[in-house]
Amino acid sequence: MSSSSNSVKRIRDEDLFVQANNRPGWVPAVERIPTVGEEVYCVGGVGEVTAVLGKTGDGSRLLQIRLSDPQARPFFAASSNVLVAPAA
């Protein structure tokens, strides 16, 4: 039998959820649904909404986001875990 250590990196809960203090003045995307092309802030950083889709299990909208990094692939996030700039 081989002995091996558990080297899996643990992810902290605070690394999985966007906090309002990450972008002062920005609002949760459930309060104002962003439109396609609009800049948002998510766990991955600043990105652009490429699609607004149906509802998630928590009732918020599903957003497809492309990060500012050109190498990053688009991914999906619940609008309940995304911040958007307040309406001007």
Q: Indicate the DSSP class of residue 56.
A: -
Q: How far apart are CA 6 and CA 76, in angstroms?
A: 29
Say what the pLDDT of residue 6 is: 57
2 falls within a domain: no
**Domain count along the chain:** 1
Say what the pLDDT of residue 82 is: 96
Say what the pLDDT of residue 1 is: 47
Q: How far apart are CA 64 and CA 74, in angstroms?
A: 6
pLDDT tens sequence across 3-62: 555 556 777 777 788 888 889 999 999 999 999 999 999 999 999 999 999 999 999 999
56 falls within a domain: yes
Q: What is the CATH number of the domain that holds 81?
A: 2.30.30.140
Say what the pLDDT of residue 16 is: 84
63/69: higher pLDDT? 63
Say how many C-beta atoms besides its own lie within 10 A of residue 79's C-beta.
27
57 falls within a domain: yes
pTM, to two decimals:
0.81
Burial of 62 (0-12, 13-18, 19+ CB in 10 A): middle
